[in-house]
Chains A and B, each alone.
Chain A
Amino acid sequence: MSENPSPEIVDALLPEVAELIVAALNLDVAPSEIEADAPLFGDGLGLDSIDVLEIALVISKRYGFQLRSDNEDNVRIFTSLRTLSAHIASQRTK
């Protein structure tokens, strides 16, 4: 677990997290089609807060940590595949 994961570590995690999102939400897209910096919400993948809780559950089981929002915008780490992967890289315990 490191506070500031290197870009290489985050890049390496992208395909795995994309696959996890697609599987958790049963999305009708290929994991490779999710662009690293495209928004996951709104015009991007169109996720909503139900999806966020679904993904949060899968992440906690796979990577061994619980997501926290500390009452800030609870979807900020879900801005893009890259922000989510960076958060996982910095928090994972397994």
Chain B
Amino acid sequence: MNGVPLLGHASLDDIFAWRAAGPVHVRDFIAEAEALAALLPAGGHQLNVCHDRYRFTLGFAAGLLRGKTSLQPASQSAETLRQIEAACPDVYCLSDGEFDSLDLPRLDFPVLPAVDAAQVAKIPAIPGELIAARLFTSGSTGSPVAHDKTWGKLVLNGRAEAERLGLLQQPHSIVGTVPAQHSYGFESTVLLALHGNSPFWSGKPFYPQDIVAALSAVPAPRLLVTTPFHLSALLAAGLELPAVDLLLSATAPLSAQLARDAEAACRAPLLEVYGSTESGQLASRRTTADLAWDLLPGVALEQQDETTFAVGGHVEGRVPLSDLIEIRADGRFLLHGRHADLINIAGKRTSLAYLNHQITAIAGVVDAAFFLPDEESVDGITRLCAFVVAPGLSSRQIVGELRQRIDPIFLPRPLVLLDELPRNSTGKLPRNHLQALYAEKVTHVDR
């Protein structure tokens, strides 16, 4: 078996993580992971729902030492847990707080026996081919779709991201507002701590004041791993921020305006990461500088017909991407929306992402979303609707501006002005939310 180290640190005395009580060194982490490993149940699949980032990572490492696979579903709903139990009957749940684990065997995070970290002599090796994590996407048929990640590929992903962010030369303290279990948080906090030499803060700050406190609790330089949603709330609070050296954003598109505001407030560069649960992280860009994405080291894109595939580096196999991608001559690429966003009205094609980009670029428009209703009108042409947040603008003014930007066939009928859009907790606008909004605001309007 080909062994890949559990951690990429050069010394056992490096700092691995920061907790409220202070630093945790690499040797402490290894000693605690070995102690926890001895207490884990026999099952080969671990559903690790620990909230604390350090305890999650300790559970993950203990699982690796025992050859277990970490199950990381996109949701923790009862329905999901039942599906996981059916697919992996030996699953057990590791939890450090309140969690309804149904009838799954459960290990509440134990008080670890006293460990002698001085006895730790080396960093353990984990088989590179071990399926270390199984992440899930919601899938299109209602059943979660599993995406297996070997330990070897996860390490490559962490190192590729660390290299892109410059962490291998200059370790940063990481504060993450995203959960450790989901792909972005897993890669950009857990894997960066294990193989990017960058200790994370064990908490998951939520309110703006929590984020400030977490940043203050760790030494500079600091990396804030966050989302457009958390970032916009942080800036709106207008708090005095500790020095941040690098900002990272993913999960939803970040507007150029928010990127500029964030860079100005933090006086630090902001990088957006592009990737998917299926492929892992693929590319980054500095949003204020360029719309084109730079592939991470080792990763390549291939195109066949209308589909783009990610291959090479840490990508598991040849993974089709659900985005419309334009690869430029210099190897960098542009995103033109997702396939599901494609629109065809009276023979003219565009994407919702493109239209949304155009409307939100209008001065005075705060947020906006185009929506293509399900219903078919009598003449076979379904008109787009747009929901727009634009205090101070009239719908006539907005449509006038839009007319300058898009083909008239795509002009919204109607354009509905709102105080805000029904974004979910990750900042996305699920189609069913828009459908509900449409039913509420449009269907009953007399025309």
Contacts and interface: CB of A to CB of B under 8 A. Distances in A.
B158 interface: no
A67 B209 contact: yes
A60 B418 CA distance: 24
Interface magnitude class on chain B = 20 to 34
Contacts of B425: 48-50
A68 interface: yes
A69 B206 contact: yes
A68 B236 contact: no
Interface string B89-105: 00000000110000000
B407 interface: no
A77 to B, nearest CB: 10
A48 B207 contact: no
Contacts of B97: 73
Contact of B207 (A26, A50, A66, A73): A66
B205 to A, nearest CB: 7
B235 to A, nearest CB: 11
Contacts of B236: 57
Nearest to A70: B210
Contacts of A71: 51-52, 203-205, 210
Given A57-B208, A69-B205, 5 more contacts: A26-B420, A49-B425, A53-B207, A67-B209, A70-B210
A51 B239 CA distance: 20
A26 B204 contact: no
B213 interface: yes
A74 interface: yes
A73 B207 CA distance: 11
A71 B175 CA distance: 13
B239 A66 contact: yes
Interface of B: 51-52, 97-98, 203-210, 213, 229-230, 233, 236-237, 239, 418-420, 423-425, 427
- Main SS of chain A's interface residues? loop
Interface residues of A, number: 17
A20 interface: no
A65 to B, nearest CB: 9
A74 B206 contact: yes
Given A50-B425, A71-B52, A71-B205, A66 B420 contact: no
Contact of A69 (B210, B229, B230): B210
A56 interface: yes
Contacts of B207: 53, 56, 66-69, 74
A52 B423 CA distance: 13
Nearest to A28: B440
Interface in A35-78: 48-50, 52-53, 56-57, 60, 66-71, 73-74
A57 B206 contact: no
17 contacts: A26-B418, A52-B206, A53-B229, A57-B237, A66-B209, A66-B237, A67-B207, A68-B210, A69-B206, A69-B210, A70-B210, A71-B52, A71-B203, A71-B204, A71-B205, A73-B97, A74-B207
